[in-house]
Amino acid sequence: MNIALIAHDKKKADMISFTIAYTHILKHHRLFATGTTGKKVAESTKMDVHRFQSGPLGGDQQIGAMIAENDMDVVIFFRDPLTAQPHEPDVSALMRLCDVYQIPLATNLGAAEIVIRALEHGDFQWREIVQKKKEQGNK
């Protein structure tokens, strides 16, 4: 599965703790992240993380493009609901794309733990069916 990891500045420590705690699950998937979040996750977990631009510089939109192409399976986005974000329209657009394309989106630690356990149990295998249909359509 392709998993996007995004965290606002005040939530990066939570993302690091989360990825360390669940390295045993995440290491079996392809990880993508916005700039600083990806760097910190890679350094903390020693996992390979494809890094996009930072969120305000277009990283959210790069992940959104993958969602629109049906190339992202899960988004874990630790948002800071108490701090205004200069790129809030990009954040809203990313969340909207998750809804449009039926991409599981966890925006807090509680939801992320449910999603990660579902990944561990294979509950998102329906995404593999979506990918196969996409590949067959491209032939």
Q: Which residues are catalytic?
A: 60
Q: Judge whether 18 and 41 are in contact, CB under 8 Å.
A: no
Q: Are 36 and 12 in contact (CB under 8 A)?
A: yes
Quickly tell me which residue has 């969602």 as its tokens.
Answer: 67
Closest of 1, 4, 18 to residue 98, by C-alpha: 4
- Contact between 1 and 73 (Cβ < 8 Å): yes
Both tokens assigned to 111: 């939801």
Closest CA to 105 of 74, 65, 78: 74
| Torsion angle of the four alpha carbons 69, 88, 124, 101, in this order, in degrees rounded to the nearest 10 | -40
Query: Could you identify the residue written with the tokens 């965290």?
Result: 7
